[in-house]
Structure 1
Amino acid sequence: MTKDILLQLLEQSRMDCFRVLKDIHAENASFRLTEQTASAGFIYRHIGETTNVIGQFFGYETDVEGTTIGQTDTGKPYDPDTSRKLFEQGYATLKMLVNETSDQAWLEEIDTPWFGTLSRIQLFSITLFHNSHHCGQIASAILKGKKF
């Protein structure tokens, strides 16, 4: 039952984010709400990179580098198609995690370099909430932002 619930939560997160992310294209990827905020394209890349890097904390290897993690958007353009692939790759890893993790293992603690020691379910939740937060930022940037 736990696996089914987590798979539904994961799919809802993916679908909610994708409703926003599908609207990013080369023309609006540079949109920001203000000069100080990150662009839609930067945030999109950040979601993809972060989801993959967090997968490593669960024991899944990746060759994805965290080039946006803890960084400021400098205006460098990011290809939405590449970011989409990173996003889908990250969610595929999370799906694998759900399918391969026993009910008891979700409560086991793991050590992470970013968050310290926490349970697997806490880290899984942080990842989904992180992505939802950033998808909301992207939606605002696309709707109300502009190129600075």
Structure 2
Amino acid sequence: MEKEIMLQQLEQSKIYCSRIFKDINDVNTFFRLSENTASVGFIFRHIGETIHLLAQLFGYKTDVESETLGQSDTGKEYDLKTSHTIVDQGYKTLEKLVNETNEKDWLEEIETSLFGKISRIKLYSLILFHNAHHSGQIASAIVKGKKLTFENQTNNN
């Protein structure tokens, strides 16, 4: 029963976030709400990278490298197709995680460098909440944001 609940939570996260992700395009990927906020493209890549990097704490290997965690948005252009692939693969990894983890193991605590000792279920929940939080930022930036220049911008966008 718990596994089914978690799979439904994951599916709802995918549905909610994908409604927003499908609206990201080559124009609004550079939209920001203000000069102090990150762009749509940066946040989108950040979501995907975070899923993969946190999944490593559960023992899942990834070849996704962090370009956004702990970094500021410099205006770098992120390939949207690659970002979509990273996010999609991340959700598949989370589904695999839910299917492969025994129900009793969800309460087991694991040591993390980011959060200290934390139960697996809390870490899983953090990933889903993180995705929802940043998806909301993306939605706001798409609707209310605009393309703003970055100081020390590294490309011609």
TM-score, normalising length: structure 1: 0.99
Q: Give, as a single letter, the amino acid of the residue that structure 2 aligns with 1:37.
A: T
The correspondence of residues 1-148 of structure 1 with structure 2, limited to 5 A, is 1-148=1-148
Give CA-to-partner distance per residue, 1:12-39, whole Å, 9 cap, x none. 0011000000100111100000011000
Identity of aligned residues (%): 61
State the number of aligned residues.
Answer: 148
SS in 2 for 1:117: strand
Rounded Cα–Cα distance in structure 1 between residues aligned with 2:30 and 2:8: 32
Give CA-to-partner distance per residue, 1:115-148, whole Å, 9 cap, x none. 1110000000000000000000000000000001
Quote the offset at 1:113 in angstroms: 1.1
4+ aligned runs moved over 4 Å, structure 1: none
Rounded Cα–Cα distance in structure 2 between residues aligned with 1:60 and 1:90: 11
Gaps of 5+ in 1: none
Q: Give, as a single letter, the amino acid of the residue that structure 2 aligns with 1:66.
A: S
Give CA-to-partner distance per residue, 1:16-65, whole Å, 9 cap, x none. 00000010011110000001100000000000000001110000000101
Q: Give, as a single letter, the amino acid of the residue that structure 1 aligns with 2:97.
A: L
SS in 2 for 1:29: helix
TM-score, normalising length: structure 2: 0.93
Rounded Cα–Cα distance in structure 2 between residues aligned with 1:94 and 1:25: 25
Gaps of 5+ in 2: 149-157
Query: What's the Cα RMSD here?
Result: 0.5
